[in-house]
């Protein structure tokens, strides 16, 4: 499964690791993605999401219902 946040869309960043001698090698910066369950009161069921920690803070602030409604408007399956 790809390392991607379902709410914010964060994915790995790519670039160069630069050594002290200025030698460059390719590397990836992975987002901090966690798997988390949330209770949807309107549907009476649990949903499981792969979220970045930034998205968890967004859900805490705005609420799971509004975030899921926005995801469905974008066409994502929840």
pLDDT in tens, 5-53: 999 999 999 999 999 999 999 999 999 999 999 999 999 999 999 999 9
Helix, strand, coil percentages (3-state) for the chain, rounded to 5, are 25, 35, 35
Residue 4 lies in a domain: no
| CATH number of the domain enclosing 31 | 2.30.170.40
> CA 32 → CA 4, 18, 56, distances in Å?
9, 23, 11
Residue 7 lies in a domain: no
Please state the rounded mean pLDDT for residues 48-77.
95
Residue 3 lies in a domain: no
Domain that holds residue 30: 13-74
Domain count, the chain: 1
Residue 5 lies in a domain: no
pTM of the model: 0.83
- 27-40 burial, b for 16+ CB within 10 Å, e for fewer? eeeebebeeeebee
State the pLDDT at residue 78. 86
DSSP conformational letter for 41: T
């Amino acid at each position: 499964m790809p390392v991607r946040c379902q709410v914010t869309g964060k994915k790995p960043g790519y670039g160069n690791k630069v050594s002290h001698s200025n030698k460059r090698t390719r590397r990836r910066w992975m987002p901090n993605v966690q798997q988390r369950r949330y209770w949807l009161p309107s549907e009476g069921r649990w949903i499981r999401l792969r979220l970045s920690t930034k998205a968890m803070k967004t859900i805490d602030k705005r609420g799971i219902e509004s975030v899921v409604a926005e995801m469905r408007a974008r066409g994502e399956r929840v």
